[in-house]
Amino acid sequence: MSHVPYSQEISRAHKGCFLFLLDQSYSMEEPLNGTGRRKCDELAGVCNAWLGNLAITCAKSEGVRDWFDIGMFGYRTDQDANAIIESAFQGGLAGRTLVPISEIANNPVRTDTVTAFLPDEETGEIMEIPQQVQVWIDPKAEGGTPMCNMLHYAFGVLEQWIEENPDSYPPIIINLTDGESQDGDAVPYADAVKELATSDGNVLLFNCHLSMTAADSFLFPASGEILPDELARVLFNMSSVLPESMHKMAGGLGIELQPNARGMAFNADGVALIKFLDVGTKKAVLR
């Protein structure tokens, strides 16, 4: 019987790997559609919440199990348009490339108090509830968008990880950006990353475009022809076709996908961003 791709159980013996590529260009100062918050703030908040939730998922009675290695990378340019590619982790994890989830759980930079706006169950009125959130990454926004440099760097990181974990569930890359590549055509670099593979399947590359435009979002489209502009079609071409297991995960979240749907979101607001991360990562986590 032939092996079914993307079916490897994630364990300490067969770890998973997530790589987040965070656009830190100047336009991330703009407000994200529907939130009133800067894109860079919303992105950092969602990523910090995701890290906290993953740490909880991996926490067992004996401690946090090292089921995952996580990379969080920011990409931007300096004033001379030179690419800056660096770990987005702060504090004790600063400069680290891939970090086991147990070390992430034990090394937040700080704990912030934020205000959550939740409806009262009895009256329906919106209440302001203070909540404690752990922080690992902070927002940045400067310079341009060196996406080719970022994908080239990601290739090197994952090539080494796959050498060390050849039979694991394939790594998943989440590229979160608000613009087009400014250092060349990113598609060949995306294709090279997607050619990397473990024995369980090829690396999966998801691309999410964050927008300040109040227009329809496209979430997991199955065709580039329906997309509104050339940037959207480029991101579509860069993105992996979703495995069948992720189709089922999306259905459980109320997202009906067409055959050959790709791991892409265009014109995403805060709600679409969270759904995008849920579909892209939960199937690997909830195995």
137: left (phi over 0), alpha (psi -120 to 50) or beta: beta
Nearest to 138 by CA among 166, 109, 113, 158: 109
pLDDT at 188: 97
Q: What would the two tokens of residue 69 be?
A: 């290695």
Instruction: Provide the b/e sequence for 179-200 (b: ≥16 CB within 10 Å).
Output: bebbbeebeebbeebbebebeb
- Residues 52 and 116: their CA atoms lie apart, in Å, by 16
Query: What's the N-to-C CA distance of the chain in angstroms?
Result: 21
**Residues of the chain where predicted confidence (pLDDT) is lower than 50:** 1, 287
Single pTM value for the model: 0.92
**DSSP-H helix ranges across 128-264:** 147-164, 187-195, 230-238, 244-252
pLDDT at 287: 46
Q: Which residues pair with 210 in a beta bridge?
A: 268
| Predicted confidence (pLDDT) per residue in 206-237, tens digit | 999 988 776 678 899 999 888 888 899 999 99
pLDDT at 2: 58
pLDDT at 1: 44
Q: Give the count of alpha carbons within 13 A of 40, CB side only.
A: 18
CA distances, 3 to each of 8, 14, 51 (Å): 9, 16, 31
Q: What would the two tokens of residue 257 be?
A: 């996908």
Q: How many helices, marked H, and strands, marked E, lie in the chain? A: 7, 14
CB within 8 Å of 146: residues ≥ 6 apart? 75, 76, 77, 83, 84, 85, 181, 182, 183
Residue type, 27: S
- Residues 102 and 96: their CA atoms lie apart, in Å, by 14
Domains in the chain and their CATH numbers? 16-105+136-285 (3.40.50.410)
- Residues 190 and 39: their CA atoms lie apart, in Å, by 23
pLDDT at 283: 58
Cβ proximity of 174 and 277 under 8 Å = yes
| Predicted confidence (pLDDT) per residue in 118-154, tens digit | 677 777 777 778 888 899 999 999 999 999 999 999 9
Instruction: Provide the b/e sequence for 131-153 (b: ≥16 CB within 10 Å).
Output: eeebbbbbbbbebbbbbbbbbbb
Q: What would the two tokens of residue 203 be?
A: 């690396």
